[in-house]
């Protein structure tokens, strides 16, 4: 049950004829859960605003609203407090009835949406043959959770992995394969060898780019240094405003020097890595055209060159299998994996479509879509005839619209691509797809302790596999310690411990990501994510296992208990808070899909686990005074376990019976 929407409906009815029509919906929004139980369960806070627009005292308006409000079927009589807050408390027998219904329902009483929509979720989308890194975990995990939640709500959802399987990295890999391959290594582990080749070619290409860039960057640093010296020389103006401006200019000059120095340093480091290595320098000397040559390999692949196509077809299966392995471990699935290569044959047509409609025109030899309100046009065909990432995305939209007629398409991609999506969506509107809700579900960067993008000690971005392994390894230590500490002696076999560690480790990693506000950057920390206390998967899984252990210890069969028609007693605040918490699951789910923020769900689960914790401390279950009370509390325990399990499943996280 979503109490909040129910109350909004009732409030809307009460406001009709009283509030100005234009303000109705914004006033009806002002129903919020109470911060403190002494103000009831929910509060209606619109009497103040309404009083203002009606020019009447808010308390009087609140009274009139209360007279009009029909909620006596599920609330105690409303109370007015302070300047005009209306406090509402749900009736206990109403809650008890809902709990009974939830207990008898697979979906815990959470109704599917009345209006089914067709969604497409575009997530994960790594670039094949480049190692998947920690940034891709966010897209995979957030996207998967959104996918699961929408599906649970009853929507039609297509999960599509738009993998980068056709990009310029293949030109590099093909070049590397033709010139630098180690046959034995390739036979032993093709993906590792391809990814070595990619890194090697990329490094060499980067070397020549750096060489070209260095003089420009040095000059920039020189200018910045001169500008800083000049800024330092400015005499005090004696006028407050002018001084402030000068101080700001000085600050800017300082930060310009700092970033220019960093840029030079980075490029010098790239150069030194090759110049300081005899073997690499020899390679560089021999392959001075490597950048252009790699691009040529890509162009050949795209124009259907037999040899390159054959190589591409050979590389793809092991690369896809390696991705699949990671997805299996993460429990991330897709309905479709239509990568960039799938759209290759559609690019010319989509470009022609935009051209014929007069939406795209040539500029400097390149074909561009000029978008209303955007300074920079969207490039869809380069001077040399090559198509771009954006062109593929336009073709993808056309294909998806024709095949699935979606109401909404969600792109779960990091924030650095926001301009790309802004352009893409504007172009889609121009093409006539106004009816579809295109959304960039943007997310921030995963940071290390130093506040910079998370890297390994060697400076590489961290590969996903190593990340998962380490999380599981650390979880194994925690699981073993816990098990050893069990008052009844260790309960888990070595095999069980390993399985539990996998679930706990992967769960911790996913939850840590999902519990962040997705738009912010967050700091990656194994210690934090695996903490037994706090807003972590480990804590939630532990809460679940604790509930399940009550049933084991008491020899209670949960299914039999549910069939028994137990009437739940809400005798103490702890029991009532837990009950209300359980029944708010639907509200949390709806909140999480309103703006596609899984952290709404983790916040809810954490609150629920805390209510359970208090309940567990204050209310004996197996040792309850009467058998009726024991059954009632067992029912609350069972519902708690099921709600946690459901909530975690929407996040793509499993539970364990014992840990
Ligand atoms: N492969 C891209 C990357 O790793 C992400 C693709 C996202 N999806 C899309 N339809 N553009 O940056």
Tens of pLDDT along 62-74?
Answer: 999 999 999 999 9
Cβ of 394 less than 6 Å from ligand 1: no
Q: What's the CATH fold of domain 471-650?
A: Isoleucyl-tRNA Synthetase; Domain 1 (1.10.730)
Query: Cα–Cα distance between 370 and 627 in angstroms, integer?
Result: 74
| Cα gap 618→28, rounded to integer Å | 37
Cα separation, 190 vs 182, whole angstroms: 10
- Residue 461, pLDDT score: 58
pLDDT of residue 373: 84
Position 439 scores a pLDDT of: 98
Cα angle 438, 439, 444; round to 5: 160
Q: Average pLDDT for residues 606-621, to the nearest whole number?
A: 96
Say if residue 365's pLDDT is above 70: yes
Burial of 331 (0-12, 13-18, 19+ CB in 10 A): middle
Q: Is the CB of 127 under 6 A from ligand 1?
A: yes
Looking at every residue in the chain, the average pLDDT score rounds to: 94
CA dihedral over 14, 18, 21, 26, signed as positive or negative: negative
| Cα(421) to centroid(ligand 1), Å | 10
Q: Do domains 3-90 and 471-650 have the same CATH topology?
A: no
In the chain the first and final C-alpha atoms are separated, in Å, by 32
Distances from the Cα of 369 to the Cαs of 157, 340, 424, 428, in angstroms?
30, 20, 10, 11
Kindly tell me the number of DSSP H helices and DSSP E strands found in the chain: 25, 13
Q: How many CB atoms lie within 10 A of CB 638?
A: 21
Distance of CA 592 to the CA centre of its chain: 11
Grade residue 460 by pLDDT with cuts at 50, 70 and 90. low
User: Around Cβ 615, how many Cβ atoms within 10 Å?
Assistant: 23
pLDDT exceeds 70 at position 572: yes
Query: What pLDDT, on the 0 to 100 scale, is given for residue 384?
Result: 86
Distance 508 CA to ligand 1 centre (A): 25
Cα separations (Å) of 87 from 2, 38, 76? 17, 9, 10
How far, CA to CA in Å, does 429 sit from each of 316, 352, 372?
Answer: 34, 17, 11
Would you list the domain boundaries of the chain?
A: 3-90, 118-165+306-447, 171-302, 471-650
Helix (H, G, I), strand (E, B) or coil at 420: helix
Q: 62 near 86, Cβ under 8 Å? A: yes
Give CA 285 to chain center in angstroms.
44
The answer to whether the CB of 546 is under 6 A from ligand 1 is: no
Are the beta carbons of 380 and 351 closer than 8 angstroms?
yes
- pLDDT for 234: 87
Predicted pLDDT of residue 122: 98
- Is the shortest distance between the CB of 164 and ligand 1 below 6 Å? yes
From 162, 338, 350, mutation site for ligand 1 pocket: most ligand atoms within 8 A of C-beta? 162
User: Ligand 1: which of 165, 411, 413, 416 to mutate, judged by most atoms within 8 Å of the beta carbon?
Assistant: 413
The mean per-residue pLDDT over the stretch 90-99 comes to: 97
Atom of ligand 1 nearest to the CA of 164: 1
Average of per-residue pLDDT across 79-88: 95
Does the CB atom of residue 411 touch ligand 1 within 6 A?
A: yes
Ramachandran assignment for 249, one of left (phi > 0), alpha (psi -120 to 50 degrees), beta (any other): alpha
pLDDT tens per residue across span 228-281: 999 999 888 888 888 899 999 999 999 999 999 999 999 999 999 999 999 999
* CB 411 within 8 Å of CB 358: no
pLDDT at position 486, please? 86
- What is the C-alpha separation between 280 and 43, in angstroms, rounded? 69
Q: Please tell me the distance from the alpha carbon of residue 408 to that of residue 2, in angstroms, as a whole number.
A: 23
How far apart (Å, rounded) are the C-alpha atoms in residues 525 and 436?
A: 39
Mean pLDDT (whole number) for 561-587: 96
Could you tell me if the CB of 125 is within 6 A of ligand 1? yes
Query: In angstroms, what is the span from residue 435 Cα to ligand 1's centroid?
Result: 23
* 219: enclosing H helix or E strand: helix 190-233
Report the candidate in 112, 90, 43 with the shortest Cα–Cα distance to residue 583. Answer: 90
**Nearest residue to 357 via CA among 305, 419, 432, 288:** 432
Which of 569, 566, 608 minimizes the C-alpha distance to 586? Answer: 608
What would the mean pLDDT of 460-474 be, rounded to a whole number? Answer: 82
In what helix (H) or strand (E) does residue 81 lie, and over which residues does it extend? strand 79-81
Closest ligand 1 atom to Cα of 417: 12
- Report DSSP state, residue 567: P
CA of 444 to the centre of ligand 1 (A): 15
Q: Mean pLDDT throughout 23-47?
A: 93
**Which phi and psi (to 5°) does residue 249 adopt?**
-60, -40
| Residue 441, ligand 1, Cβ within 6 A | no
DSSP state of 364: T
Is residue 458 pLDDT above 70, yes or no? no
What is the bridge-based pairing of β-strands 446-447 and 522-523? parallel
Ligand 1 centroid from CA 39, angstroms: 48
Section 358-374 average pLDDT: 91
Angle between helices 627-650 and 537-554 (to 10 degrees): 150
Residue 641 has pLDDT above 70, yes or no: yes
- Whether the CB-CB separation of 538 and 655 falls below 8 Å is answered with no
Give the integer Cα–Cα distance in Å for 506 and 581. Answer: 27
CA dist list (Å): 155 to 118, 186, 394, 446: 6, 44, 25, 31
CA distances from 224 to 236, 252, 259, 261, 316 (A): 21, 10, 10, 9, 47
Say yes or no to pLDDT of 438 above 60: yes
Residue 477 has pLDDT above 90, yes or no: yes
Of 121, 125, 390, 391, the residue with max ligand 1 atoms within 8 A of its CB, to mutate for a pocket test, comes to 125
In the block, residue with structure tokens 């040095």: 218
Ligand 1 midpoint to CA 658 (Å): 39
Could you identify the atom of ligand 1 that is nearest to the CA of residue 393?
10
- Rounded CA-CA distance 12/29 in Å is 9
Q: How far is CA 120 from CA 43, 157, 324, 406, in A?
A: 36, 6, 20, 7
Atom of ligand 1 nearest to the CA of 414: 12
| Separation of alpha carbons 416 and 437, rounded Å | 21
Average pLDDT over residues 351-376: 92
Interval between CA 294 and ligand 1 midpoint (Å): 21
Residue 311 has pLDDT above 90, yes or no: yes
Instruction: State if residue 122 touches ligand 1 by the CB under 6 angstroms criterion.
Output: yes
Task: State how beta strands 85-88 and 378-381 pair.
Answer: unpaired
Distance 322 CA to ligand 1 centre (A): 18
Note whether 351 and 386 are within 8 A (CB): no
638 pLDDT exceeds 80? yes
Q: Closest ligand 1 atom, CA of 421?
A: 11
- The domain at 3-90 falls in which architecture? 2-Layer Sandwich (3.30)
The three-class DSSP label of residue 442 is strand
At 564 the three-state DSSP class reads coil
Q: Please give the distance, rounded to the nearest whole angstrom, from the Cα atom of residue 513 to the centre of ligand 1.
A: 19
Give the pLDDT confidence score for residue 98 in this predicted structure. Answer: 97
**In the prediction, which pLDDT does 350 show?**
96
Coil, helix or strand at residue 362: strand
Specify the pLDDT at position 136.
Answer: 83
DSSP SS3 for 384: coil
- Residue pair 419/374 in contact (Cβ under 8 Å)? The answer is no
Q: How far apart are CA 219 and CA 309, in angstroms?
A: 43
Fold of 118-165+306-447: Rossmann fold (3.40.50)
Residue percentage of the chain with pLDDT more than 90 = 87
Could you identify the atom of ligand 1 that is nearest to the CA of residue 424? 11
């Amino acid at each position: 049950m979503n109490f909040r929407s129910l109350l909004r409906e009732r409030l809307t009815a009460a406001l009709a004829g009283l509030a100005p029509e234009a303000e109705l919906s914004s006033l009806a929004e002002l129903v919020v859960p109470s911060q403190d139980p002494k103000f009831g369960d929910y509060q209606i806070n619109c009497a103040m605003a309404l009083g203002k627009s009606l020019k009447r005292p808010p308390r009087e308006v609140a009274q009139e609203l209360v007279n009009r409000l029909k909620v006596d079927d599920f609330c105690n009589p409303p109370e007015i407090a302070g300047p005009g807050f209306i406090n509402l408390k749900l009736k206990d027998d109403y809650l008890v009835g809902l709990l009974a219904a939830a207990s008898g329902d697979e979906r815990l009483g959470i109704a599917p949406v009345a209006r089914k929509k067709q969604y497409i979720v575009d997530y994960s989308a790594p670039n094949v043959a480049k190692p998947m890194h920690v940034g891709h975990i966010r897209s995979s995990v957030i996207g998967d959770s959104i996918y699961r939640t929408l599906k649970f709500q009853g929507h039609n959802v297509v999960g599509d992995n738009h993998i980068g399987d056709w990009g310029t990295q293949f030109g590099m890999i093909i070049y590397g394969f033709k010139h630098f391959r180690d046959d034995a290594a390739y036979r032993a582990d093709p993906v590792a060898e391809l990814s070595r080749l990619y890194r090697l070619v990329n490094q060499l290409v980067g070397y020549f780019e750096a060489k070209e860039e260095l003089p420009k960057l040095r000059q920039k640093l020189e200018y910045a240094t001169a500008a800083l010296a000049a800024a330092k020389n400015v005499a005090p103006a004696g006028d407050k405003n002018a001084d402030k401006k000068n101080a700001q200019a000085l600050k800017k000059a300082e930060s310009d020097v700092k970033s220019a120095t960093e840029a030079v340093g980075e490029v010098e480091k790239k150069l030194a890595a090759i110049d300081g290595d005899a073997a690499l320098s020899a390679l560089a000397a021999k392959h001075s055209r490597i950048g252009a040559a790699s691009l040529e390999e890509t162009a050949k692949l795209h124009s259907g060159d037999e040899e390159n196509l054959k190589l591409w077809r050979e590389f793809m299966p092991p690369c896809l299998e390696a991705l699949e392995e990671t997805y299996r471990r993460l429990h991330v699935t897709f309905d479709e994996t239509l990568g960039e290569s799938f759209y290759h044959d559609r690019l010319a047509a989509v470009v022609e479509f935009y051209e014929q409609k007069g939406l795209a025109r040539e500029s400097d030899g390149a074909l561009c879509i000029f978008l209303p309100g955007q300074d920079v046009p969207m490039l869809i065909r380069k001077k040399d005839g090559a198509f771009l990432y954006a062109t593929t995305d336009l073709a993808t939209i056309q294909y998806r619209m024709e095949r699935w007629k979606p109401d909404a398409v969600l792109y779960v991609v990091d924030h650095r691509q926001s301009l790309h999506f802004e352009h893409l969506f504007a172009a889609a509107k121009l093409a006539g797809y106004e009816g579809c809700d295109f959304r960039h579900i943007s997310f921030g960067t995963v940071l290390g302790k130093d506040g910079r993008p998370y890297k390994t000690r060697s400076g590489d971005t961290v590969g996903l596999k190593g990340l998962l392994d380490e999380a599981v390894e650390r979880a194994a230590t925690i699981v073993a310690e816990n098990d050893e500490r069990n008052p009844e002696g260790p309960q888990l076999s070595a095999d069980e411990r390993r399985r539990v560690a996998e679930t706990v480790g992967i769960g911790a990693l996913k939850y840590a990501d999902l519990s962040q506000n997705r738009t912010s950057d967050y700091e990656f920390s194994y210690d934090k994510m695996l903490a037994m206390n706090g807003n972590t998967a480990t804590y939630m899984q532990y809460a679940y296992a604790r509930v399940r252990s009550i049933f084991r210890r008491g020899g209670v069969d949960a299914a039999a208990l549910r069939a028994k028609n137990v009437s739940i007693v809400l005798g103490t605040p702890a029991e009532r808070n837990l009950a209300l918490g359980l029944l708010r699951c639907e509200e949390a789910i709806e909140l999480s899909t309103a703006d596609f923020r899984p952290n709404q769900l983790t916040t809810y689960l954490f609150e629920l686990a805390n209510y359970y914790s208090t309940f567990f401390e204050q209310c004996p279950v197996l040792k309850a005074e009467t058998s009726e009370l024991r059954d009632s509390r067992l029912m609350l325990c069972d519902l708690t376990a099921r709600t946690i399990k459901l909530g975690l499943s929407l996040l793509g996280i499993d539970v364990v019976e014992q840990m």
